[in-house]
Amino acid sequence: MNNKTILIDIVLVFACLLSSYVLESTTSVYSDFPRKEIMDDLNDSRIIDLSTGQVIQNRSLNSILTAALDIQRVAFFDKMNQINSTIWIGDNFLRTNEIKNISSVAFGILIDGDKDSSTGKEGVDYQLELQWINNTDSINLQKWNKLLLEYSSLGKYKILDLVQNQSGYTSFEANNNYVLLSLDMDKISVNPFYRIMFYNLVSFDDGTLGIDLTNWINIPADSFTVLTSPEEITLKKGETKTIGLQILSSSGKISAITDLYDFSNYTSLDIALMNKDDNLTNSTIGGSTTEPVQIEISAPRDAKIGTYTIPITANISFGSNFPSNFIDFNNEYPIFIDTKGYEIKNGNFTVDVIEPPTFQEELKNFWAAYGSMISLIGAGFAGGLSSLFFEHIKERRDRKSKK
């Protein structure tokens, strides 16, 4: 083997090592995550006049179409860098006469790859969309266009992928209407922490737009902990206390609690949710609140001493603002569209039950708390009496001397 052959072999080995390093270094920094389901707010779809940007509240819509516009649930998971999602909608808009007045329908995902509103278009870096264009000659909802876009902060876009006239993305059946969206994560680049939003758009011939959106969804999902006030809860047998309860996310935000479920089957302690009128209820809070939820806890006189773990099942609501300037409305005023979604979260807190103190312990604790004050008051009282006594003696001597 000559020197030239050896040199070629060294170059080939180096090239293989370099290519292996490049492939390894460009491996996605994010990882798979298991199936997750979110609940979108029901009946929250809106009709917007594109010429004025106003939400039309009084438009008469077929109830089927209203339901067809409504995203109800979204389930999704990531496996081998592929996000597979299912969007369940309320109804099949093929059943409504409004189909003749619809020019296009779209379902999609907005991706904020870095949680930075200054990058992409209104913070949106990528968009995956299924589009159906109404052909008045032949209405066929089986053929859809699939489009993947990348956005710059200038609002410009680049087509990353385009598939036309494909089927198999939707299923419109009685009481089982859904849309399938699959995103190849190898075609985009996101940070380890990013977020996504699902949406539904229906464009009408009269210049109005129907829209429904989920809230922004953090990936990976936030973790949650239960906060109580006081932090350490101790009850004596026969004692009752009111505590405050909140849910804290790993992003540092206090989550809004919509429902807090019944505690009665969890423990031998008596636990009840208190509403604003201080009436006890075990059902629902009603609305969403980030303020501490008031809970009354009682330890029966026959309760066993020890530490009790109280599980919490809460319905948490998440609110987001849709980047309204993302859609090119034909008006100069921004359109504010708030979104709300819900998730069921579980957690727990602990309660320590102890024996009530004996009479001697209560007396000792009382004296430890108030003994110094009592001694001070007693000393002052005694001092006052002694002063009066000596003053009396002095007055008697003065009277005798005068006589």
Question: pLDDT tens, 119-149?
Answer: 999 899 999 999 988 875 555 666 889 999 9
Q: How far apart, in Å, are the Cα atoms of 15 and each of 19, 26, 27, 156?
A: 6, 16, 18, 38
224-354 CATH, one of 1.10.10, 1.10.1760, 2.60.40, 3.30.40: 2.60.40
pTM above 0.85, yes or no: no
What SS3 class is residue 137? Answer: coil
Q: Residue 83: which pLDDT band, with cuts at 50, 70 and 90?
A: very high
Residues whose CB falls within 8 Å of the CB of residue 292, separated by 6 or more in sequence, listed in order: 229, 244, 245, 246
Q: How far apart, in Å, are the Cα atoms of 47 and each of 54, 87, 230, 345, 383?
A: 9, 20, 47, 32, 84
Least confident of 69-78, 172-181, 223-232: 172-181
Q: Residue 113: which pLDDT band, with cuts at 50, 70 and 90?
A: very high
Whether residue 202 is predicted with pLDDT greater than 80 in this model: the reply is yes
Q: Residue 258: which pLDDT band, with cuts at 50, 70 and 90?
A: confident
Higher pLDDT among residues 72 and 389, named by residue: 72
When the pLDDT of each residue in the chain is averaged and rounded to a whole number, the result is: 77
Question: pLDDT tens, 328-347?
Answer: 666 666 666 778 888 888 88
CA atoms within 13 A on the CB side of 202: 23
Domain ranges within the chain, ordered by starting residue? 29-219, 224-354
Beta strands 337-354 and 233-236 are parallel
Q: Could you identify the residue written with the tokens 């009382």?
A: 366
Question: pLDDT tens, 47-72?
Answer: 888 777 777 765 556 667 777 788 99
The amino acid occupying position 149 is L
d(CA 136, CA 146): 21
Least confident of 33-42, 91-100, 105-114, 228-237: 91-100
d(CA 223, CA 205): 44
Report yes or no: 113 and 189 within 8 Å, Cβ to Cβ. Answer: yes
d(CA 368, CA 374): 11
| Short-list 279, 220, 290, 216, CA closest to 253 | 290
Residue 266 has what DSSP assignment?
T
- Beta-strand ranges (E) seen in 205-336 are 208-213, 217-219, 224-229, 233-236, 240-249, 254-260, 270-274, 280-281, 293-298, 306-322
Q: What is the mean pLDDT of residues 184-196?
A: 93
